[in-house]
Structure 1
């Protein structure tokens, strides 16, 4: 049975932001380093407010940082574009 999946680009964006640490990102959005690690690994889904805060730190839109895959399927339209 397919499962829903929320993936993200947080780790990549931290790397591109001069190797920002998980602790630094956490400080900027009001979370612990451990929570940032869990978000990156897909073990924890942030609230919508926190997701917007994370995107804002990197100057990105929400959909550039977080990707929702209903039913665990790949987003065919995004891949085709």
Structure 2
């Protein structure tokens, strides 16, 4: 009885490798939503940082505002394309 149990437990067909298929799916809508919100959070922080660490406050404000407008236009175009 013990011999039959050993033979049955070491049969070759039980240990054949299975074909493993993995796939990663990306929810592009959620990814763009998160990236858009991160960019919208980072832009005012960047503008405040530029205005604090610069002596040319007015020039920096103009540059940061134009940077903000450019990024908002880019985000709107990217969100419409998705």
Given the two structures, how large is their TM-score scaled by the length of structure 1? 0.23
Structure with greater proportional helix content:
2
Structure with greater proportional strand content:
1
Larger Rg: 2
Q: Per chain length, whose mean CA-contact separation is higher, i.e. which structure has more relative contact order (CA < 8 Å, sep 6+)? A: 1
